[in-house]
């Protein structure tokens, strides 16, 4: 019998986080990956030539500070498991950039796509955004600039969207269950990014009950054309698996075969596990399909034990809705309003206020974001926030490619805020031009 060989060398980075769970019976616990590990070994996936398992790296506080304003500090908020989960994503990126693999899949937990630019604790089972930590590591160490993140988790990745809201060089696309029916209640088509990054955020809210047909139609008619237009250097898949028909906390009808086909068509360079809570019924089969599809190996025999195609024929109204959504969304993206309608212009700044609730930790946050309306770059960003856990704090972000004026203004704002007598308890600067990541406070 001829041995199987992968068309694409695939690196699988595995970390189940044995010592971390929200509670012993919470859906986000170590069994999410232990059943997958058993299934992959039982199917002999690592016997396929070209598919190799790797151990994760460990992310550092500096890696986290490139992506987040963390109050009071990274060391006081982030656990060892989160550092290793993010390190697993970084290891996947390093394997790819060092040309040791053609594609990589970070099968790690805890997940991250609900972790926002500011971090006071955990929300949506997430503390730090592991995809963003990985992307910013890539951009700093390998000179990568244009990245596309395609989020296929059933829940809208509001954290990833928030981090890249003002970044025109990161295209964030989220396919998810309509926010009117599921946490976090966001992710609508009019959420398009900040003034200097309009259209770099794209949301595709799909109705409950969407099957393989609807997901693949949205991929072919929205996602792939946008990727072709954007021309990223790398494609990252936030590979949430809670769109599966057996997931206990969502109401979609995606199958392991559908996930495998989506993965084959998307051709992501790196996939990072996000949600998915059908521990026995879905994850072992979906992850097997993803691994085989990324490796370019036949997936036609991947099936859940209870899968019956006749049970998952998409309703005509959902098909009609999905087709209409694709047509209207693509037309809308060709005529984007120049300014968001969720804030106001104050001199040379665009100001936006919003509230964030950390449902996992029960923390409430109030934020005011100010981005400079700069004709020469994406603009320095200033974030002022307070939460039920932390007093008034400030973050300043100087983006890649910032002009001299924005660099100077960012540094000035940080130095003024980080003085004795300042109203801010904690102050942090993320300066991507000069690679300066400082934080101040007691």
Residue numbers of the chain with a pLDDT score lower than 50: 1
**Region of 143 on the Ramachandran plot (φ > 0 left; ψ -120 to 50 alpha; else beta):** left
Tens-place pLDDT, residues 367-422: 999 999 999 999 999 999 999 999 999 999 999 999 999 999 999 999 999 998 99
What is the CB-side half-sphere exposure of residue 128 using CA atoms within 13 A? 35
pLDDT at 2: 60
- The per-residue DSSP string of 61-118 comes to HHHHHTT-EESS-HHHH--HHHHHHHHHHHHHHHHHHTTS-SEEEEEESS--TT--SE
Three-class SS state of 344: strand
pLDDT at 324: 98
pLDDT at 40: 86
What does pTM read for this prediction?
0.96
Active site residues: 114
CA–chain centroid gap for 75, Å, is 22
pLDDT at 1: 45
Spatial CB neighbours of 308, under 8 Å, sequence gap ≥ 6: none
Closest CA to 89 of 134, 126, 136: 134
């Amino acid at each position: 019998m001829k041995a199987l060989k992968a068309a694409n060398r695939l690196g699988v980075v595995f970390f189940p986080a044995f010592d971390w769970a929200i509670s012993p019976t919470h859906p986000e616990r170590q069994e999410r990956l232990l059943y997958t590990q058993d299934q992959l070994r039982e199917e002999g996936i690592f016997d396929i030539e070209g598919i190799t398992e790797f151990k994760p790296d460990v992310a550092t506080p500096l890696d986290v500070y490139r992506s987040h304003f963390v109050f009071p500090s990274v060391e006081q908020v982030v656990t060892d498991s989160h550092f290793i989960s993010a390190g697993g994503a970084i290891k996947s990126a390093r394997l790819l950039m060092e040309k040791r693999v053609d594609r990589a899949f970070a099968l790690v937990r805890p997940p991250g796509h609900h972790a926002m630019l500011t971090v006071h604790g955990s929300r949506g089972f997430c503390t730090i955004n592991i995809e963003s930590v990985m992307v910013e590591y890539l951009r700093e160490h390998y000179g990568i600039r244009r990245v596309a993140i395609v989020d296929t988790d059933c829940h809208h990745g509001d954290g990833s969207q928030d981090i890249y809201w003002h970044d025109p060089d990161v295209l964030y696309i989220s396919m998810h269950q309509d926010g009117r029916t599921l946490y976090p209640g966001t992710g609508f088509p009019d959420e398009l990014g900040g003034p200097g990054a309009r259209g770099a955020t794209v949301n595709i809210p799909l109705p409950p009950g969407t099957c393989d047909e609807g997901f693949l139609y949205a991929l072919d008619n929205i996602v792939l054309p946008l990727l072709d237009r954007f021309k990223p250097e790398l494609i990252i898949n936030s590979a949430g698996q809670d769109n599966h028909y057996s997931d206990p906390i969502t109401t979609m009808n995606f199958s392991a075969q559908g996930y495998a086909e989506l993965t084959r068509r998307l051709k992501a360079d790196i996939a990072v596990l996000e949600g998915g809570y059908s521990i026995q019924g879905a994850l072992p089969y979906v992850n097997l399909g993803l691994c085989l599809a990324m490796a370019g190996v036949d997936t036609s025999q991947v099936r859940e034990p209870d899968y019956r195609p006749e049970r998952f024929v998409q309703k005509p109204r959902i098909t009609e809705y999905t087709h209409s959504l694709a047509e209207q969304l693509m037309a809308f993206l060709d005529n984007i309003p120049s300014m968001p309608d969720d804030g106001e212009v104050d001199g040379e700044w665009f100001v936006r206020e919003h509230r964030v609730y950390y449902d996992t930790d029960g923390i409430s946050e109030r934020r005011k974001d100010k981005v400079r309306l700069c004709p020469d770059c994406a603009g320095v960003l200033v974030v002022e926030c307070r939460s039920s856990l932390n007093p008034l704090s400030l973050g300043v972000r100087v983006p890649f490619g910032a002009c001299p004026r924005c660099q100077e203004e960012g540094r000035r704002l940080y130095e003024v805020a980080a003085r004795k007598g300042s109203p801010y308890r904690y102050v942090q600067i993320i300066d991507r031009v000069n690679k300066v990541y400082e934080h101040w406070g007691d």
